[in-house]
């Protein structure tokens, strides 16, 4: 989860840096393109934390002592 967040952070940060660099160099059209790409890539920052929240929300599944679909005489318990 942390890796996905880090990857999104690097991507969004790189696009934002490219946007600022293009703006400072005078390429206003490219700066606008990079700014829009930054906005489009920003939901990637939520990918890691949302997956982490989902995993902790579900909790741990525990196996049944006996299989619920059998009559109990299946040799498993």
Smallest Cα–Cα separation from 21: which of 40, 34, 10, 36?
Answer: 34
Task: Note the pTM of the prediction, 2 decimals.
Answer: 0.58
Q: Please give the pLDDT value at position 6.
A: 82
pLDDT by residue for the chain (77 residues), tens digit each? 567 778 888 888 898 999 999 999 998 899 999 899 998 888 877 777 777 777 777 766 666 666 666 665 555 55
- Give dist(CA 35, CA 30) in Å, integer: 8
Domain residue ranges of the chain, discontinuous segments joined by +: 2-56
- Convert 6-28 into a string of H (helix), E (strand) and C (coil): HHHHHHHHHHHHHHHHHHHHCCH
Q: Please give the pLDDT value at position 32.
A: 93
Q: Please give the pLDDT value at position 62.
A: 63
């Amino acid at each position: 989860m942390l890796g996905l967040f880090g990857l999104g952070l690097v991507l969004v940060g790189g696009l934002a840096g490219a946007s600022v660099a293009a703006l400072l160099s005078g390429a206003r059209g490219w700066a606008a393109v990079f700014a829009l790409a930054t906005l489009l890539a920003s939901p990637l920052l939520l990918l890691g934390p949302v997956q982490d929240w989902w995993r902790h929300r579900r909790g741990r599944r525990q196996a049944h002592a006996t299989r619920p679909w059998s009559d109990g005489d299946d040799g498993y318990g």
